[in-house]
Amino acid sequence: MKVATLTTDFGLEDWFVGVMKGVVLKRAPRVAIVDVTHGIPLGDIRAGAFALWAAFRFFPAGSIHVAVVDPGVGSARAALAVQTEHCCFLAPDNGILSFALRLEPPRSVRRIENRRIISRPVSCSFHGRDVFAPAAGFLANGGTLDKLGPATEASVWLPWPEPRQHRHGWRGEVVYVDRFGNAITNLGLSQLSDREQVVSKTQPCCAVALRNGRQAPFGTQYQEVPPGCPVVIVGSTGLLEIALNGGHAAPELGLKVGDRVTLRAALGERVRGKRARLA
């Protein structure tokens, strides 16, 4: 069964997500529709891009990923259909696909314009229902991308915030805060040396410096530090996350998206000695 996923800022209070699914099912009765999330903060394209990037890789090959965080709905921004090696993305041309397409480069991009596929009339405020859902249903039912509209290219790209090397390690930033209060950074395994990667599986070998001179030692699970203490783990996205054993790191440590953090390498001993002070 074909899979279509939905990532939006529509919330679940109203009927918006439900009718998108109705429109998809009208055109593709046998598709499995999965919500990635509808809780993206209103109009936060960057958060939507991050959630899509974190999620799409875990779906079956051939999945159709619809991402609608669309503060410019009704303006002249294009509606895009993007074919990659393993899947297809449908989204407004506002940068929301930027991070996903770093992993899956576009092979073909079309504007979704075919009036025989999209709904008529198209409302000025709900292209999720009138443009993207019909296109998703069309593709899920076996339609091909080239029928959706003319070839084009994505015109808006959000830059991925690359970590920068620094005298004592790497400088990065917080890129997402999840419901558990974990602060996900743009620092990843590639910022750890080979030795650190091996060592870090069994003991702290480096640390992330936070504000106020605090440091979070590297660990492999939340419980490696005393309750209430911060710890840095390789999160489920592959990026380093700052967590708090039994707490919510971001609100309790005052971390928010965009805040700088510094990865200090090879501090194993020093960090271990400092643990008590972090509480």
Give the whole-angstrom CA distance, residue 264 versus residue 267: 7
Measured from the CB atom, the residue of 228 and 273 that comes closer to its own copies is 228
At its nearest, how many Å lie between its own copies and the CB of residue 124?
5
β pairing state of 3-8 and 64-68: parallel
Measured from the CB atom, the residue of 228 and 246 that comes closer to its own copies is 246
Give the whole-angstrom CA distance, residue 262 versus residue 208: 5
Query: How many C-beta neighbours within 10 Å does residue 130 have?
Result: 22
126 near its own copies, judged by CB under 8 A: yes
7 near its own copies, judged by CB under 8 A: yes
188 near its own copies, judged by CB under 8 A: no
Burial class (CB in 10 A: 0-12, 13-18, 19+), 75: exposed
Q: Report 218-277 residues binding its own copies (CB under 8 A).
A: 220-223, 233-236, 241, 243, 246
Give the whole-angstrom CA distance, residue 275 versus residue 203: 13
Cβ 227 vs Cβ 221: under 8 Å: no
19 near its own copies, judged by CB under 8 A: yes
87 near its own copies, judged by CB under 8 A: no
Give the whole-angstrom CA distance, residue 34 versus residue 13: 17
At its nearest, how many Å lie between its own copies and the CB of residue 252?
13
DSSP 175-206: EEE-TT--EEEEEEGGGS-HHHHHHTTTS---
Stretch that binds its own copies, among 8-16, 100-108, 109-117, 262-270 (CB under 8 A): 8-16
Give the whole-angstrom CA distance, residue 240 versus residue 79: 33
Q: Report 29-68 residues binding its own copies (CB under 8 A).
A: 29-30, 32-39, 42-43, 51-52, 54-55, 58-60, 63
175 near its own copies, judged by CB under 8 A: no
Point out which residues bind its own copies (CB under 8 A): 1, 3, 5, 7, 10-19, 21-23, 25-26, 29-30, 32-39, 42-43, 51-52, 54-55, 58-60, 63, 71-75, 123-126, 129-130, 178-180, 182, 220-223, 233-236, 241, 243, 246
